[in-house]
Amino acid sequence: MSTVENKELFRSYVEEVFNRGNTDAIERYLSPTFVDHTPFLAGEAPGPAGTRQWVQELHKAFGDFH
């Protein structure tokens, strides 16, 4: 994958999952074996399920998050 393609993929991920809150799209972007090493997320479910949980919590806490 080229640098340009990689950047576009990441932009698409941020727009779809974080800005729009479409957590159903997470599996299109993250491997089932994805590991998030963000320190403040310790205790979240592993893999894409943990990311889904985190994004849902962000949107509950900050309704206009984008």
Two structure tokens written together for 7: 């950047």
pLDDT score for 42: 65
In this predicted model, which residue has the larger pLDDT, 38 or 61?
61
- pLDDT tens across 2-47, in order? 999 999 999 999 999 999 989 999 999 999 999 888 777 666 788 8
Alpha helices in the chain (DSSP H): 3-13, 26-29, 47-61
* Domain definitions of the chain by residue range: 3-61
Please tell me the pTM assigned to this model.
0.79
